[in-house]
Structure formats: C-alpha cells, structure tokens
A and B are shown apart, each in its own frame.
Chain A
Amino acid sequence: MPTRKTIKKPLPSVVKNMEEWPIYKAYENPDLFLNKVKELVKKNASWILKDDVTLRNEIKNIVYQEKMRLSKTPWKSDNPKEKLFWSDIKKQVRSSKATISENGTKEVDERILNQILDFYGTEMIADFKISSFKFAQKALPYIYSRLINSFPQIVYRLFSSVDKLYDRMKIMGDIDHIRNLQKIGTVVVVPTHYSNLDSPTIGLSLNNLGLSAFTYGAGVNLFTIKSLSRFMHNLGAYKVDRRRKHRLYIETLKSYSTIALTEEVNSLFYPGGSRSHSGKLENKLKLGLLGTVIDAQRMNLQDGNGKKIFIIPVTLNYHYVLEAKKLIEHYLKDEGKENYLEDENTTSFGLIKRAYKVITSNPGMTISFAPAIDVFGNKVNENGESYTSIGQKVEVADYFKLNGKLVRDVQRDSQYTQILGERILQEYKENTVVLSSNLVAFVAFQIIRKRFSQFTVFEILSLPKDETTIHTDEFIPVLGRVKEALIAIEKENKIILSADLELELEELMKVGINKVGSSHPKYVLRKNKKGEISTQSMKLLYYYHNKLTSYGLEKYI
C-alpha cells in the first residue's frame, strides 16, 4: 500500500551533482546521441531499406510531403534554411542517375537518407544547460508566485507568495518511493492533459520532487520567440513537428525517445496526445511514444545493463481551466483534433499570457502522482522489483524472452504497449482527485439531465436558464448521495477525495460553486439568496461535470 503524502516545499535533489544527471551526460555530446538515434532508425525502419526502388520512392515521397508542408502550412517557427535543404535533396535525387554506382541507386540514396536523418536529428535534439536549469529552478517559482500576487510592486509579497503558490499547488503521491526509484532507474512521467498550463505545472512539480531533469517533446510552434525557444531547448525540450506525418519522421521521433531512455534520461509524455476537449478523464491513449518505453527496456536488457524504467502516471486536477470554453466547443462540434493553424497561435508568448491569467485566478490545483509501475504495468516495490496484481514477483526480462532468448518482436511489443496503456488509464482513474468544483458541477448537470431525461446532451445544453435552475433543497440531498458513493469508492482505493469533501454538505456546495471555473467571464454556477443555483454556461457546466463521468455515479442522482 503506497504511503501517500502531500508536499508543500521543494525537496532537495536526489542526485545533487547535476553533472551526474543522465540528461546532462546524454546531451553533452549531441553528435554521439544523434548517431545512436540514426542507427536505431535504420535498424527499425527496415521497410525503407528493403530494396533500391522502395528507398528511392520513400525519399521522393518524403521530399514531396515536406515541400507541400512548407508551402501549405508554413509556420513562423519554420527553419528558414529548410526550403533550401529539401530543394537540394530533390536535386541530388534527380542528378543521381549520372552518379549511380554498380550497386544501383542504393548507395546514393542511403547517403541522402543519412542527410535527411541528420537534418531531423539536428532540428529535434534538446540540450541541457546547468546554468539555465539553475536559473529556472530559482526564478520560476518566484515568477509564478508573483503572478499570483495582485500587487507585485510590494517587494515582500514577492517572497511570501512562494508559500501561497505551494498552497495552491498541492503535490501528492508516494513521494519517497518515486525519489527512491530515481536512484535505481529511469523515471517516465505520463500526465493527463487538460490545459496548456500542464507543462509548466508538471515541470515545477517534478523539480519540487527533487528528480533529475526530464526531457520532453514540445511542439515546434512553441519555439517562436528566440530567447524562450533557446531556454526551453536548454531545459531538455526536443522539437516535435506534428505536421510531419510520414513514417520516417515518426520513426526518428520514436528512436529519439528510445535513445534518451536507454541513456537513462527521465522523460515526460502526454499519452493522451492532445488536451482532453471534453474535460473527461482520458479513455484512450496514443501509443506511439509510449511504445518507446518497451523498446528501451528491452534494449537495456539486451545491452546487459538491465536498468529499469519506471512509469509514473500523474493526474492534474484543476478547479479552473482557462481554455475550457474553446475545448468543449471543439468537442461538441466534433471537430476532432486541434487544427494546426490554431496551435500555431499558441506561441510561447501566448502560453505565458495564459499561464498568467490562470495562475492569477486559479483557486488551486492538485497534482497527483500514482504509484510507479514497470513497463508492463506491474507495481514496483521500494527496490524497484516488479509484482503482479496477485503479488507474484516477476522479472521484466521474461516478458521479452522466447525459448530462453531476449528477442525483439514488434507485434508482441505493440500488445505490451496496449496493456501498459490500459494500466495507465486505470491509474488515472484511481488517482483522480475529486475537487469540490467537479463534484458540484457533476451533481448540477446530472440533476438537469435527469429532469430532461428524454433530451439529448445537445438539447440539454441549449435549455433556457429558467429550465436549468436548481433549488438547494433539491441539490443538497443529491450531493449527499454522490458524496457517500465517492467515499465508498475511495475506500476501495479507486479514487482520491480532496480535503474539501470533508466539509458539511452546505459548505461543500458553497465552496464548490465558488471554485468551479471561477474566472470564466460567464459563471459556471452561482447560488442566489433564494437558494437557487443557476449557470450562465451549460457548456462549461458540462465540461467540468465530465471529469466524474467514468465512475458510475449517475445512479445516485
């Protein structure tokens, strides 16, 4: 049973000397790192090297796609030299007929392939500068705290507000266990994703746990301001261009992540992919990058070092998500994935502005670290040893063995990735923290839904205000039943209740109503003197309510 605790202040680093941090060592020699990435791509992308014709066609296809991307969806963050690079590759392909050796086109095309991989690798690679990290470590909490403070000119508040920040940012989990695992192996943190604020929030949280720095993929659109881009780059952010969909790029990205993990660099992914548009807990994961933990674990075993990789699911729980309105509208329109043009607007400057707004107005957030699991989803003990759900000790090497030998099997490992994904979803569910805001939103929306049980969600969302008003006399008993049900679920360790839920029902209702989506221009919930609870935005109410829809609580309404 994990010992869950909440930390209020940053803990000292587990490994004090930053020069010993794997991230520092890995990025100290970028050429060596990229060479390993390149070799792994070539090893894994056997389809591209199948024969002369395939290789040539793939290269032509890549050049075509890249040129199309540059002309159809150009971004400010695009490398100005890129156009020239692809033109040059195209020229080389065309002129290669004259230089073809006896071996056909393969020799020439392999050279071209290497150039493409070098180009991707150089664009992608992160760095880790101790000076930048130390600066971030010292400055960021103060910048954050200052953002909270309404009167920043008063200097003393600058310092006192750091404590306020940590009051608002509750970090909970089996912290000692996680810190201990950092000494034994590599830590991969996989958080839920609701907001653009997630990355700074999780970054600060990981630093507060005293873990060695993490490497993480960041969209190229976030690298628009040069100085900030440099800063992120120096803090372990590798560039990911989500416009590039072709297999070679995806393979390069995966190989990058795999090599970082085999170099023991702590890593961070959002396995849900983009932010949850509905506000619901993730119920499906994108398995691409997640699969790299399986590859890396196998490679570690094959290399003989056997270094273990530990996965730590993290749930981020907010009373207020700045982008909630836009996200839920996207979801309701069923537009699917965010389109890239819009993402382009999410510049680093935009992100800071958003962070400012959220932090200054956020009534709090809880970052909940789930117990660590191995890459197959088994729980791990304090020594990093794996145990199945029925308490049997297992060796991770055995999962990769066939007839006594460690072997690579892409199909098998894709199944393991799915199993890991399912386990992460389970941990998300069990480590979600029920905030008073989500609870009151859930109760309010479900009461309205029950009132109009014949209506579709869309019809309910367009109901007039007077149809959706709920009197506290109706609200409180339902709140009581749902709360009791949640207490029972928590007893089975299937959810975590925040401290607000210890309040008496009246108070809980009041606190929840005050906190839910507190800074949207339209209020999500409000109670008047007559005891009537109403909303100005059914969509936002629906969004905040969605967080609790996967626990079968509807029957208590």
Chain B
Amino acid sequence: MKKVAVIGTGNFGLALANLLAINNEVFIYARREEIVEKINEKRAHKGQTIHERVTAVNDFDLITKECKLIFPIVPSSNFKEMLIQLSPYLTAEHILIHGTKGLHIEVDINSVTQLNKSEVLTMSELILKQTSVVRVGCIAGPNLAKELSEKQIGGTVVASRFNEVIVEGKKALNSNIFRVYGSNEVLGVELASVLKNYIAIAAGMLEGIGYGDNSKALLITRGMAEMVFFGKAFGASEKAFMGLAGIGDLMATCNSKLSRNFRVGYQLAKGQKLSDILSDLNEVAEGIKTIKVVKLLAGYGFNSPLADALYKIVYEDWELKQGMDYLMNLPVSDDTDFFTHKDS
C-alpha cells in the first residue's frame, strides 16, 4: 500500500487523512508532540475518529523519505514558516498537493495602503518559491470537514498544471464516498477557493439578519461574478469558477453553519464584535483577511463591490444596513457580464 502524508492536524487535515487512509497508509504531521501522542494513543482528535491506517508523527525527515506524495493542509498564515522547515527535506521527486484556502502576502497588510500582484502569492506559488518541488497541485471544493469526517459522500477537485499530479491525487483520494475531479486550471481553482471565503461571510450576514433564499441566491450569483472578475485580472480563466472549487464550494459554504466564514458573518449580523468572534472561533477565518487583500489590490481595476462593502463593514464599522444600501444602489450590469468581461 502506498504511503502518503498530510501536514497539519486541523479539522480538514484530519478529515483528509481519514479519506486518504481508505487507499493508503497515511502519516499525519503535527507540530506538537502531545498531539502526536494523542492521535496515536486515543485514535481521536478534534471530535474525529482517526482511521487505523493513520499514524501521527513529528518528523519531516521521516515523512519526506517515506512519502513522495504530501498534502500540506496548514493555515495560510503559517504556511511559509512550515515550508521553510520542510524545504530542506524535499526534492524534485516530491509531489505536493495543498489544501489551504488562503493567500500568502509578502508584506504586512496592516501597514500598507495598496498591494502589488507580485506581493500576493497563492500557496502553490509559495511552494514553488520556497522549495525545490515543481510538481505542485491543490485540492479544493465543497469539503466541509465535519461532513467529510462523518463519511458523507462528497467530491473535490485536484488541480495542477501537471497531469501526473492530478492522476496521483486521484489515485490517492478517490473512493466510493469521495469523487475526485481533475483540472489544469490551478490558479483559477486556488483563487476560487480563497475568494469564496468572503462571499460566505456575506452569506452568514444575510442569514443573521433573517433574509431568505432569494437574497442569498442573488449574493451567491453576483459573488461568483466578482470572483471571476478578480480571477481574470490575475490571469485565471473563468472555467475553474464554474466547477467544484467555485460554484460548488460557494453553495456549500454560503449555506452552512459549519463554515467558519459563514459563522463570522452570521455573528457580526447578530451584533457581536469581530475580535470576540475570532477569539471564540479558535480557528482561522481566511475570509476576513481576504476582504482586506482584495481591497488593497483595488488598483488592478476589477469590480469588487461586495468586497468593498464588506471592507467598510468589517474594518470601518459601517452598519450592515449601510453596506447593503451601498450595494443595492450600485448601477446594474448585464446578468452574465463575467463571461464577456475582459480584464483591464
């Protein structure tokens, strides 16, 4: 049986390790020794039962020697640090498929007023920059960790410019409860999986103020248009946004209280303070950072009214009503303008 590794013991990392264990022997890397011991001894962590073929370790040397296929599932804020530690053990033979739905920003976003494209990296770009691995991919889609851990059926997309990576990813993950699709649109898939986070925050807000399905459908559809505009400005095609990582993930996260980003929006609408929400969450809500990143990239000329409104609400203390008025009074364009829109 093939050996593969997962780096990161967050909810999604654990769920993915369990899915991988259907076809493989799996090492899961945890930074802290006590988590390694807990997983190996108690066979459970963060409410998830751990598959018998999953072994927790704290040894990059071991996992890189034993496994050529590695899935880093680490929050974007820790990703670079993890890569710096992992990099000396990696060779060009390794294949890395990450599952991190976030961006790496080369500067401190709290101390700049705008960002250059070159300062914003997707996780696969960061892997290429920080390691000798070339065969890089990402996994994205409607993959709410809790549902995956309950063995509900689901699907995902593995995207890479290398078919070899897609094939290896499929072989490792495909099972009778999990369908794995392939895509060469890696940039589009990565951006879709990042951008949908702030759409989910907005969806949570709508739910929080008691709006129904019409409002949410409007939000999701125009949210997707906004994601496409952004993607095109960064050189991605609209294709990926129509797949599992785009519309698929939007439908899941914008309708589910299991989504952290959705919950942040919901609680903001209920009048809670952002700092309190984030400290209660105990995990990262990438969407909050993404709102700011999109705002700081506004110079690239894409349409992002939703991100603008969310920025004002989250960072400038606008009332929710104010944000909605702002959005509802904007001029309307063609329904499917994202197909015809050319980036500036």
- Which A residues are within 8 Å of any B CB, using their own CB? 376, 388-390, 392, 394-396, 398-399, 401-404, 409, 411-412, 415-416, 419
A51 vs B197: C-alpha distance in the bound complex, in angstroms?
Answer: 51
4 further interface pairs, Cβ-Cβ under 8 Å (given A390-B131, A401-B68, A401-B93): A399-B92, A399-B93, A402-B164, A412-B164
Q: Mark B217-259, 1 if CB is under 8 A from A, else 0.
A: 0000000000000000000000000000000000000000000
Residues in chain A near residue B163, CB distance under 8 A: 409, 411-412
Shortest Cβ distance from B91 into A: residue: A398
A389 vs B133: C-alpha distance in the bound complex, in angstroms?
Answer: 12
The answer to whether B132 touches A409 (Cβ under 8 A) is: no
How many chain-B residues does the 8 Å CB contact rule pick out? 18
- Which B residues are within 8 Å of any A CB, using their own CB? 2, 68, 87-88, 91-93, 129-132, 134-135, 161-164, 168
The answer to whether B92 touches A376 (Cβ under 8 A) is: yes
Q: How far is the CB of A14 from chain B (nearest CB, A)?
A: 29
Q: How far is the CB of B116 from chain A (nearest CB, A)?
A: 12
Residues in chain A near residue B68, CB distance under 8 A: 401-404
Q: How far is the CB of B343 from chain A (nearest CB, A)?
A: 19
A399 vs B134: C-alpha distance in the bound complex, in angstroms?
Answer: 8
Known: A376-B92, A390-B130, A403-B68. A412 touches B87 (CB 8 A): no
The answer to whether A392 touches B134 (Cβ under 8 A) is: no
A412 vs B93: C-alpha distance in the bound complex, in angstroms?
Answer: 13
The answer to whether A376 touches B93 (Cβ under 8 A) is: no
Shortest Cβ distance from A390 into B: residue: B130
Residues in chain A near residue B91, CB distance under 8 A: 394-395, 398
Q: How far is the CB of B293 from chain A (nearest CB, A)?
A: 23
A411 vs B161: C-alpha distance in the bound complex, in angstroms?
Answer: 9
The answer to whether A411 touches B164 (Cβ under 8 A) is: yes
Residues in chain A near residue B2, CB distance under 8 A: 403
The answer to whether B87 touches A409 (Cβ under 8 A) is: no
A399 vs B132: C-alpha distance in the bound complex, in angstroms?
Answer: 10
A402 vs B164: C-alpha distance in the bound complex, in angstroms?
Answer: 9
Residues in chain B near residue A388, CB distance under 8 A: 131-132
Q: How far is the CB of B334 from chain A (nearest CB, A)?
A: 28
Q: Which of B2, B92, B129, B162 has the most CB of A within 10 A?
A: B92
Residues in chain B near residue A419, CB distance under 8 A: 134
Shortest Cβ distance from B164 into A: residue: A412
A243 vs B134: C-alpha distance in the bound complex, in angstroms?
Answer: 36
Shortest 4 CB-CB distances between A and B: which pairs? A398-B92, A398-B93, A401-B93, A411-B163
Q: How far is the CB of B238 from chain A (nearest CB, A)?
A: 22
The answer to whether B134 touches A409 (Cβ under 8 A) is: no
Residues in chain B near residue A376, CB distance under 8 A: 92, 134
The answer to whether A409 touches B164 (Cβ under 8 A) is: yes
Residues in chain A near residue B168, CB distance under 8 A: 402
Residues in chain B near residue A409, CB distance under 8 A: 163-164
Q: How far is the CB of A296 from chain B (nearest CB, A)?
A: 18
